[in-house]
Structure 1
């Protein structure tokens, strides 16, 4: 069983899936190894690897074909799950796809800007522009492509128009009506949190709520997961056991089978109410295995049921291993099993929860580091209060939901649940203000290995000699591990922020951020992408935040970056149009040196609009030069050429994302770049970069690097090396 689990997990770490002939060899090898007892573990490893690869390849084959990428199609489908509406945008999933065009995926994720109200279970005819699954790739960012593949979504898209063909039917429509009912009850402003706990719809939580939950390490409490399903199953099991213990259970009914049946029925019911998403399916499988173990196989110990659940989940859906929640849920159960099993004597009840929280913090630390997740310093104390708090609130919310048909009673219980959640968020906000989440720098393998061993040593029983020495093995986490540029050189990162711009320039002891990415509604790339990437790269402060001009695709994330990261000085091409909280100064022409690297600023004094007002930055390190140009147009380029500014550069960031209004021939002739960097969004509405601009660059032999194709780009200025894109780090689910 362990070999089978290893085989099912192995493809998660492969840069690419094996070819068909390799899979055939694996199958034959597995059959041969079955003939001898000693080689049977290898046989099951081969079978697990073969099954996982076949399932993952099938999911990849369901993606939209490359030749259909970016095209608009008429199609029919049924709304799946609960549609979410934010800032006038309706986001939903569509299944049971039918179209006269062959090759469309069976499941889509769509956005309808200004669209009508959609209900789960409705059937629609839509005109939608479809795109192959694609996500932003940065030093630290959510892997959107892996998430889409794990949810078997073959394409994303934007709806142009549509018509409803059939009203809502099925269980999904009932859940949707229930969600709408929950969002209308009086719950002290916490209707969104109640809907998240009851039906698994977290769209009602605000960005501020999510920030509090992340900073306190309590996100898992507001997203229906194994913890919620396990809590409800445990509550029902414990209720039957309590009734049997005090003599109130019917004697003719054996209490243990009834307790296990009630617990499993409660888990399935809660899972159905939550929409049976992948984490809930995983939780129900684990609950079923634990209850079966408790009923019939308790003598086998705790590790075998955990291994059965692991194999069961992966056999059902090998793609579950692409999600961080899979690793954290099984890791948490394994840590608790290691902590509570095999101990001499029992712990006092009031020590159980604190010790469990301590074990979870230490035991999950290696997984959090490996997954690149933020670590909450206030998490242990926050969870110590929040876990039992939510554990008591969930039954009240579920009971109130069940009693909604009874006038006044259900609303009263939901009001009580709303009060409870309101007080909880106020307490969590205090913890978040005290200590925000900590994003650890990228760790080398040796440091992560030491931390893993240290965490395991600390989890050993108290009687083990030298157990406290495990804390020493965690010390590498406290020291910077990201290599710094040598004196006279600079590292330049062009982040992958979609249709926008954000560039980090780092010398040995200084850091400058040129633009902070866009903000679209409540999605702030400064907070979600730029800041985590800076911390992942070891940047803990900014000497200069330089905002080329005030357009949202360049300045949208600036406020978040300044709020989250100490910033010494803010410069901007349009300081009057930037938010007052930035206290930006005008970027007048000036030069300075940091660690042997020369910086020069230029701005056109006669600029007539925002694009022309962009600050232009030249960086020179070791004789190699990079020119950052913001969104200057041909007129500003002409003024720059006519100035006495030295323009020749090895690297050029294309002005205005490659728009045809920029990158004029006289400007390119003056710069004479060998390499050009393009920061833009894939399938952007502006058609950037323009084919004529690309043609001009190719005619003079300029090499192009594009964030939409290569992810975030790194240039080692002063080393005269090629740029490196993060998509070069191959993952089988990423497009080449």
Structure 2
């Protein structure tokens, strides 16, 4: 792969470019009617060379250009991010132009461009940034502002499966984050047109707040206005798990209703092709501007505009040809969009309608429900690699849900638009017209909840490898060829359809990979807290997962990480002690069964039995039917990670009474062959000394430093006894406790331990076969990406 591209990014680039080129070369805007033929693309090579040679040369040229453009874009973003990171401690005054204004839980987020630093020694800073501020009074779109604050680089993905804010910012051309203490207009000028569009959107959002319930209003804002900030997150997760979240994005359906509806109305009123197309195109541009011009909106609006152009020029509208034009335009202007789910899913789904959807419909001569089923299945198959890459699970019943969801969505959009229009004259009439949308959305929710109760509703597979994605697509394509061959030989359609289903379903198994041999341990970067995941031979275990810095640790870190590894069940969960920075993620998994993570057994320290937080956790576990075990010194947990892995509890002693919860921490030694791992919780020096005096300590390969590297732990005699080759420090950046203690870091180094810190490395990943060991930091593996 080219420099700065991961294998997965390279795969998506190649897949997108090849798909785009196949679309473009399939015969764009042939002159004549829908069945007219024979035209050749006007923008591509001609001459005596055969078509495959022309197509191959064009494809090679476009891919090389695309690689070069991607490299230049990423190099530019990396330089800007390095500048932002290097100047992160400085107080800056910048001037910039406001492009977007949005609200957050803590204030406002502005997208600003044309950023320049004030001052006689002004130096280069990112030209486009997100600016976070407490107040946005008097700010308008297009206004030049002056802001004072600090700058930082966008945060990269720090754990497998986590949200990659850096990649998200790169897709928007953003090179830095500005934290403003003060913002003020630098002049009276602003864009009246864009500000007017923004005010219309805000007015429509306020009307939906008045007309609909909070639940319905949040969905309608997402569907009609592109604003998901007010949508119920639990409801969005329900849509996503069932494979119907695509209806919440503004796409071809919405644009067709608005753009084509207006175009047809103007044509019936006597307007010519040029006037009707121009008016409808201008309306779509304004609508796209109001909704944020996301990739799906750009695609749908461009394709609709191209259909107007085709009608004006008297040429046939070809879906695949029209699809390639916005794809190429978006990728050239913002190459990093290629890595985003919004771009991938929008273009893959639209392309799948033509191939394999349209191809199969023609081959099977499908009509009615069978035709709809083929299109739905084609979309699911085409988008499966991207869905798994970003969300790690496949909704098995999504194909059938979409048979009803997609047709009914037309009525939701129409009901919402009519309700908004009627509210301009009567709020009661507007609310009445929204009734259709209310009942359909209620049906969606009921269907989604019912589907989730069915066996195998979501198939957690994990993030697929490049080889798995290629094999899946190859298997699906082979199924299409064989089904087509059977139909060409005039055999029965049921036989061809059965072959197609078998190959498509069988290809899913390429996504499953056998568990890696050996013992794997991942020390998650949870901020100020602990979270250690272990697996061996398909068996899984979690020791702690909590944070005092990350408020949504379970939802944003633990669950995505587990699902990215293809894990939907934790065989055993250990809680070293009951502090929040060790249990918050586990508590989320216990309280939210809908998160999709099941727990086999919960293990807690014996001194906490029946007390405060331990009693609450035991009650939650009991409500889920999860057995609770209490551990103490001398306990051995055999079979948790398989017969080759021994887990021995070294502390706390039985019957102890502890005033400090840290002292009752479960301390466990995990041994696999010659490899030893010591997990210490927050045990203090007194507990460490008791273990040493009892003769329980032996040299270990990896030590998880107690209490995040606090000076209250990791005593000198203890470190001599365990003599770690490696030490992992799990603590938050800029934490208020000053962890890790410089004295502890010094003592570990003097003992000969090599230190791995989650603040600097992100998640720390260890693998061993019992004789050799690999250790790496997740951030290290993503440098230069």
1:451 paired to 2:472: yes
1:186 paired to 2:211: yes
Q: Distance in 1 between matches of 2:93 and 2:366?
A: 63
Partner of 2:350: 333
Equivalences for 1:550-699 in 2 at 5 Å? Answer: 550-562=578-590, 563=593, 564-573=596-605, 574=608, 576-578=612-614, 579=617, 580-583=619-622, 584-589=628-633, 590-594=635-639, 595-604=643-652, 605-699=656-750
Q: Distance in 2 between matches of 1:130 and 1:356?
A: 47
Q: Distance in 2 between matches of 1:126 and 1:664?
A: 48
Task: Give how far 1:446 is off.
Answer: 4.8
Equivalences for 1:172-571 in 2 at 5 Å? Answer: 172=195, 173-174=198-199, 177-178=202-203, 181-182=206-207, 184-189=209-214, 190-237=216-263, 249-250=268-269, 253-254=271-272, 257=274, 260-261=277-278, 263-296=280-313, 298-299=315-316, 301-338=318-355, 339-341=357-359, 343=362, 347-371=366-390, 373-408=392-427, 409-414=429-434, 417-434=437-454, 436-443=457-464, 445-459=466-480, 463-465=484-486, 467=496, 468-470=498-500, 471-472=502-503, 474-475=505-506, 477-478=508-509, 481-484=512-515, 486=517, 489-508=518-537, 510-518=539-547, 524-562=552-590, 563=593, 564-571=596-603
Q: Distance in 1 between matches of 2:549 and 2:440?
A: 32
Partner of 2:38: none
Q: Distance in 1 between matches of 2:7 and 2:317?
A: 30
Partner of 1:724: 776
Task: Give how far 1:385 is off.
Answer: 2.3
After superposition, what is the alpha-carbon deviation per residue over 1:297-334, rounded to whole angstroms, capped at 9, x for unaligned?
Answer: 74585433333332222223222212122122221122
Q: Distance in 2 between matches of 1:316 and 1:598?
A: 55
Contact 1:400 1:410 in 2 (8 A): yes
After superposition, what is the alpha-carbon deviation per residue over 1:435-482, rounded to whole angstroms, capped at 9, x for unaligned?
Answer: 643321454555433321232244459543285445246436348844
Q: Distance in 1 between matches of 2:363 and 2:370?
A: 15
State the secondary structure of the residue aligned to 2:485.
coil
State the secondary structure of the residue aligned to 2:718.
helix
Q: Distance in 2 between matches of 1:644 and 1:119?
A: 69
What is the RMSD of the two structures over their aligned residues, measured on CA atoms? 3.9
Q: Distance in 2 between matches of 1:496 and 1:529?
A: 9
Contact 1:197 1:223 in 2 (8 A): yes
Shifted more, 714-723 versus 99-108: the winner is: 99-108
Task: Give how far 1:178 is off.
Answer: 2.2
Task: Give how far 1:56 is off.
Answer: 3.2
Partner of 1:30: none
Q: Distance in 1 between matches of 2:330 and 2:381?
A: 25
State the secondary structure of the residue aligned to 2:570.
coil
Contact 2:392 2:566 in 1 (8 A): no
Contact 2:705 2:729 in 1 (8 A): yes
1:133 paired to 2:154: yes
Q: 1:322 to 1:540 in 2, by over 3 A?
A: closer
Task: Give how far 1:12 is off.
Answer: 7.9
Aligned residues: 695
After superposition, what is the alpha-carbon deviation per residue over 1:469-522, rounded to whole angstroms, capped at 9, x for unaligned?
Answer: 452464363488444465xx522122233333221122325321112344878x
Task: Give how far 1:110 is off.
Answer: 5.4
After superposition, what is the alpha-carbon deviation per residue over 1:410-435, rounded to whole angstroms, capped at 9, x for unaligned?
Answer: 45444654454344333333333436
Contact 1:570 1:582 in 2 (8 A): yes
- Which consecutive unaligned segments of at least 5 residues does structure 2 have? 14-44, 487-494, 623-627
Q: 1:670 to 1:345 in 2, by over 3 A?
A: closer
Partner of 1:51: 69
- Which consecutive unaligned segments of at least 5 residues does structure 1 have? 1-5, 18-32
Q: TM-score, normalised by structure 2?
A: 0.78
State the secondary structure of the residue aligned to 1:185.
helix
State the secondary structure of the residue aligned to 2:696.
coil
After superposition, what is the alpha-carbon deviation per residue over 1:520-575, rounded to whole angstroms, capped at 9, x for unaligned?
Answer: 78x63333432333343343432211122233332112134343333221122456
Contact 1:502 1:517 in 2 (8 A): yes
Q: 1:622 to 1:703 in 2, by over 3 A?
A: same
State the secondary structure of the residue aligned to 2:336.
helix
Task: Give how far 1:336 is off.
Answer: 0.9
Task: Give how far 1:163 is off.
Answer: 5.6
Q: Distance in 2 between matches of 1:120 and 1:403?
A: 31
Task: Give how far 1:73 is off.
Answer: 4.3
Q: TM-score, normalised by structure 1?
A: 0.83
Q: 1:479 to 1:337 in 2, by over 3 A?
A: closer
State the secondary structure of the residue aligned to 1:329.
helix
Q: 1:297 to 1:362 in 2, by over 3 A?
A: farther
Q: 1:81 to 1:612 in 2, by over 3 A?
A: farther
Shifted more, 545-554 versus 47-56: the winner is: 47-56
Q: Distance in 1 between matches of 2:776 and 2:4?
A: 32
Contact 2:479 2:503 in 1 (8 A): no
